[in-house]
Amino acid sequence: MRKFLFVVLTLVVVILTACSSNEQGASSKENEEELKEVSIVLDWTPNTNHTGLYVAKEKGYFKEQGLDVEILMPGETGANQLVASGKAEFGVSAQEALTHARVQDIPIVSIAAVIQHNTSGFASPKDKNITSPADYEGKTYGGWGAPVEKAVLSSLMKQEDADVEKVDIVNMGNTDFFTAVKRDVDFAWIYYGWTGVEAELRGQELNMQYLTDYSEKLDYYTPILTTNESMINENPETVSSFITAASKGYTFAKDNPEDAASILIDAVPDLDEELVKASQKWLSPKYQDDAEQWGIQEKETWKNYSDWMYNNNLLEEQLQVEDAFTNEFLPNKE
């Protein structure tokens, strides 16, 4: 009798365990199925502008919001085109590019500023003796062939009664800054948070003219996170969930630069570990900077730069500023 009871109890335990495992498996599968798949296209190869996205993915912030987010590298088709066409739900762009797109009736919208202030400027090796925009005369500028480059150069040089026509402007193509300035280029437009920090690590002293030191109109948002109008109108909850998680990721990166850098390095092992860590240390305080919260965008910043672009013949018509950006998806400030 005792043997019979032991066998019965053993069978009951086995059955209950199997049922429990099946229920847990079904629950796990159900939770996975509940995640909504979306993608974000980067504007460039992964770098510390993107750290918050990788943090949000690695630490599960996107999953907390019900999202399975794929981070895509940019291809021949840029992020703006992919987002506008709906082939990607989100993208990384810049205020200048989105302004051009909006004026051309391309329906993309900025939903967060990754960095509060423009950290770019014109850089040159110290031995070139370029210490102000007046020194650009007679020098060779290496760029990427965009009309905005000459307009910005001219804007800065005019303040010092210098003539942009006396600058030799060449297209560097894919040549990196450090190779170019060793060859035939005297100065170039860089983002200090990456190329400038790399120069420090190389022990190469730079002279740097930040755009924001010469005009508040050039203090624009770069980079930004974007989506399209259809997402905003038809899937606002998804947009809100994405930005809530991204905000949490960038806030973590702001407060924990070393840990955030490690997450980016683990996610993209081909990156230079020393550069990522140094860049992250430099850039993390710049994410939010003097704003009340990460991601916030000001109408004045959008208007200032679009007016500057229009006045410098870079836009065929004025930007409808109110349609170009929104703060409505940012999480409520605690």
Reported as a single tens digit per residue, the pLDDT across 83-128 is 999 999 999 999 999 999 999 999 999 999 999 999 999 999 999 9
Residues 159 and 229 in one domain: no
Most confident option among 20-34, 72-86, 124-138: 124-138
Residues 175 and 260 in one domain: no
Does the residue 328 lie in any domain? Answer: no
Calculate the average pLDDT of the chain.
91
Does the residue 333 lie in any domain? Answer: no
Helix, strand, coil percentages in the chain from 3-state DSSP, rounded to 5: 50, 15, 30
Question: CA geometry: angle at 201 spanning 198 and 206, to 5°?
Answer: 65
- Which H or E element spans position 36? strand 36-41
CATH code for the domain of 130: 3.40.190.10
Q: Which ranges of 134-210 does DSSP label H, i.e. alpha helix?
A: 147-158, 177-180, 197-202
Does the residue 24 lie in any domain? Answer: no
pLDDT band for position 174 (cuts 50, 70, 90) = confident
105: tokens are 């009736």
- Which H or E element spans position 215? none
Does the residue 233 lie in any domain? Answer: yes
pTM confidence score? 0.89
Residue with tokens 């010469």: 214
Q: Which of 163, 188, 217 is the endpoint of a domain? A: 217
Query: What phi and psi, each to the nearest 5 degrees, are found at residue 62?
Result: -65, -45
Residues 301 and 236 in one domain: yes
Q: Which of 217, 243, 261 is the endpoint of a domain? A: 217
Residues 130 and 182 in one domain: yes
Residues 98 and 112 in one domain: yes
Does the residue 25 lie in any domain? Answer: no
Residue with tokens 């400027």: 121
Q: At what angle do helices 299-311 and 95-103 cross, to 10 degrees?
A: 70
Interatomic CA distance for residues 156 and 142, integer angstroms: 16
Residues 238 and 316 in one domain: yes
Return the SS3 of 112.
Answer: strand
Does the residue 175 lie in any domain? Answer: yes
Pairing between strand 36-41 and 67-72? parallel
Domain enclosing residue 311, as ranges:
36-116+220-323
Does the residue 22 lie in any domain? Answer: no
Residues 174 and 315 in one domain: no
pLDDT band for position 332 (cuts 50, 70, 90) = confident
Q: Give the long-range contacts of residues 132-135, CB within 8 A, separation 24 or more.
A: 132/160, 132/209, 133/157, 133/159, 133/160, 133/162, 133/209, 133/214, 134/160, 134/161, 134/162
- Which DSSP symbol is given to 287? H
Domain count, the chain: 2
**How many CB atoms sit inside 10 A of residue 115's CB?**
21
Query: What phi and psi, each to the nearest 5 degrees, are found at residue 8?
Result: -60, -45
Residues 139 and 184 in one domain: yes
Provide Rg for the chain, Cα atoms.
Answer: 25
Indicate if the pLDDT at residue 151 is higher than 60.
yes
Residues 163 and 295 in one domain: no
Does the residue 131 lie in any domain? Answer: yes
Residues 197 and 317 in one domain: no
Interatomic CA distance for residues 35 and 247, integer angstroms: 19
Residue with tokens 């948002």: 221
Indicate if the pLDDT at residue 27 is higher than 90.
no
Residues 148 and 62 in one domain: no
Segment 241-262, tens digit of pLDDT: 999 999 999 999 999 999 999 9
Q: Which of 217, 243, 277 is the endpoint of a domain? A: 217
pLDDT band for position 194 (cuts 50, 70, 90) = very high
Residues 182 and 247 in one domain: no
Burial 162-185 (b: 16+ CB within 10 A, else e): bebeebeeeebeebebeebbeeeb
Interatomic CA distance for residues 181 and 128, integer angstroms: 9
Q: What is the pLDDT of residue 11?
A: 43
